[in-house]
Amino acid sequence: MKKSIERIAGDTEGVSYEFSVYHIEGSSSDAPTVYLQAALHSCELPGTVALHALMKRLRKAEAEGRIRGSITIVPSANPIGSTQMLFGELHGRFHFDTRRNFNRGFPLLDKPDALPLHDDTAAVTADQRLKERLFQLSMGHDIVLDLHCAYEGVAYLYAPSILWPAMADCASALRLEAVLHSSDPGDGEFEVAAIYPYLKAPPEVARIDGRVVATVEFRGMRDVDPELAESDAEGLYKLLVWRGVVSDEAIGSKEPFAGIAAPLENLEMMRAPCSGAVLYHVKPGDRVEKGDLLATIVHSPGEPEGTADILAPQSGYVLTRHMHRFTRRGSDLMKIIGDRRSATDVVVEE
């Protein structure tokens, strides 16, 4: 396994950022190739520790000559966000300077081409340079996974509809509970940019049936512990074996996905109608029926009419909820996968 250091120029003189890239060269040109990254939102660490645990398995497989397909890994993909500490708390979702989400604004190319999009003198901010370099590193790989997490949630993923259900083995290997798929180009999310150049490519280039591209949400931000890291690493390793990237006779055959799969249009984003303290009545993984009490907001403590109830707009499955217990009007509280299309427009924060 080889290690290289990528450097991103900062937006002021004397400032630069670095991140590590690990690469294992495969023995077979016919095997799928892989790109894995974590912590694009640098405060989301379950994927980082999962990749750390996975790399121990891959080093062993490499030493034993069992790596068939080339693998590139970026365990901590956002050195810019990792510097954004404010009053003792890490804020790694948005760039402080440009106020852009680190998982938005990736280039949507009409054809697969990893050539640099800008030269070193172009007036491009550091966060955008980082996105373009990560995009270049991922280009051309058959399996591309961007590992994230929710505030509080079950394990699930977002996938392009064109790849579902052909990549159901990914959801099964990672023991995910739900899959959301969409054909919407969104706002330049990483997984959208990763598949976009192949949508109009000729079949021999696109190879859609063999691709796995997804944003994986490994539960919640507090779910960072040794047991979960090892379990997630085992799931990632199983996927690589199932897809022929790694040889390992100890891993069993593919298993069907037993979780929920639904179009993104079924997602209900529950938002706060007022500010106050949040009392949740359901948790991620619960099944709810239309009209069930989801949460209560205490907006005027001490007053007889000082609360507001939030009810389920339809039957469905509780996917995530916010970890903070104070909310403002309009803030996201929960995500529910409904049994049918939502009556409201969906704007998803990945």
Pairing of strands 276-280, 307-311: unpaired
Residues 6 or more apart whose Cβ sits within 8 Å of residue 95: 80, 81, 84, 102, 125, 127
Confidence category of residue 347, pLDDT binned at 50, 70, 90: low
Q: pLDDT per residue over 39-66, tens digit each? A: 999 999 999 999 999 999 999 999 999 9
Residue 283 has a pLDDT of 98
Helices 46-63, 226-242: axis angle to 10 degrees equals: 50
**Class for the domain spanning 2-258:** alpha beta
Q: pLDDT per residue over 132-146, tens digit each? A: 999 999 999 999 999
Q: Domain boundaries in the chain?
A: 2-258, 265-338
Q: pLDDT per residue over 291-302, tens digit each? A: 999 999 999 999
Phi-psi region of 99 (alpha: psi -120 to 50; beta: other; left: phi over 0): left
Among the residue ranges 10-24, 165-179, 336-350, the one predicted with the least confidence is 336-350
Does the pLDDT of residue 28 top 90, yes or no?
yes
Does the pLDDT of residue 121 top 80, yes or no?
no
The average pLDDT across 73-85 equals 97
Q: pLDDT per residue over 215-267, tens digit each? A: 999 999 999 999 999 999 999 999 999 999 999 999 999 999 999 999 999 99
Q: pLDDT per residue over 146-158, tens digit each? A: 999 999 999 999 9
Residues 6 or more apart whose Cβ sits within 8 Å of residue 338: 262, 266, 267, 268, 313, 314, 315, 316
Residue 116 has a pLDDT of 65
Among the residue ranges 108-112, 277-281, 299-303, the one predicted with the least confidence is 108-112
The average pLDDT across 78-83 equals 97
- CATH architecture of the domain formed by 265-338: Beta Barrel (2.40)
Does the pLDDT of residue 114 top 70, yes or no?
no
Residue 332 has a pLDDT of 96
Residue 115 has a pLDDT of 67
First to last CA, the chain: 31
pTM value is: 0.96
- Strands in 260-263's sheet, in edge-to-edge order, are 2-9, 16-24, 71-74, 34-38, 143-150, 212-220, 156-160, 178-182, 260-263
